[in-house]
Amino acid sequence: MAGTSTPVPKPTPTPRPVVPTAAIATVAPTPVPAAPTGDLKVKLLTPADNTTAEGDVRFAWEPSRLLQPIECFEVGFWQGGAGNWQNGSGIWGANRDNAVTRRFDNEFDADTSWLVLGETYSWGVLLIENCPAYTNKQYSPRRLVSEVRRFTYGK
């Protein structure tokens, strides 16, 4: 007897659906925040230009980038225009905050005898490039990084 063989069915390939290229979502890379380098600019927020400084006055600003680990700010005030900022005084110790409130009163007047009631002064924000050195009364580069506003010291 001759053997009969039963044909073995061959699997037929199942067609896969074709996905149009436009339907494939592409994920945009998440931008990495910029390193705190480059030129720093500070936008002054308060007080407004030509303010009379008396009682509690809030000086606030917005920097264009984060501070580097050793950098800090100082609010300075002086007589004259923007170019005279190096002849001024800080109204607040060097710090990393973006605001300071200063009380202009008789006690402040006694501590800073060069302020004259009714006189107009300029103010701006300074960048201290090496805050640890500066706070230890050593040399640190510093520069005016904001616009300059004016205020009148009055009561």
Per-residue pLDDT at 32 exceeds 80: no
**Separation in Å, CA 87 to CA 41, 82, 84, 92:** 21, 10, 6, 16
The structural domains of the chain, with segments of one domain joined by +, span 42-153
Beta carbons of 77 and 89 less than 8 angstroms apart? yes
Q: Can you give the pTM of this predicted structure?
A: 0.71
- pLDDT at position 19: 52
Q: What are phi and psi of 129, to 5 degrees?
A: -80, -20
What fold characterizes domain 42-153? Immunoglobulin-like (2.60.40)
> Per residue in 34-45, pLDDT tens?
444 569 999 999
> Per residue in 43-101, pLDDT tens?
999 999 988 888 888 999 999 999 999 999 999 888 888 888 988 888 778 899 999 99
**Separation in Å, CA 65 to CA 32, 35, 74:** 14, 9, 16
